Amino acid sequence: MKSIQIKPSLFFKLYDYFIYGTIEYHDDIRSELKEKMEKMQLRKLYTDSIKAPTEEEREAAKAEYLAMVGKCRANTVVNLYD
């Protein structure tokens, strides 16, 4: 499995949360991990849309990628106005 990098700020929040029990970071950690997972999924779909062995698999990955990009952008716009 490949290594996954996270922001130093997220690492320090995770450290404080698990080592010192600083529960104030719970919501921040949750949202940043969710954002990281979405980025990882997008990257995998993008890679699959280019390198999948068959044309059907590439098209399916491309369609899923575009749908997810649209969903992520819609969530970002909604979050900007909250």
pLDDT in tens, the chain (82 residues): 688 999 999 999 999 999 999 999 999 999 999 999 999 999 999 999 999 999 999 899 888 988 888 877 666 655 555 4
Q: Which of 58, 62, 28, 60 is nearest to 42 (CA)?
A: 62
For tokens 């080592």, the residue is: 19
Q: Provide CB contacts within 8 A for 64, sequence distance 6+.
A: 45
pLDDT attached to residue 33: 96
The predicted structure's pLDDT at residue 11: 97
Question: Tell me, what's the pLDDT at 74?
Answer: 64
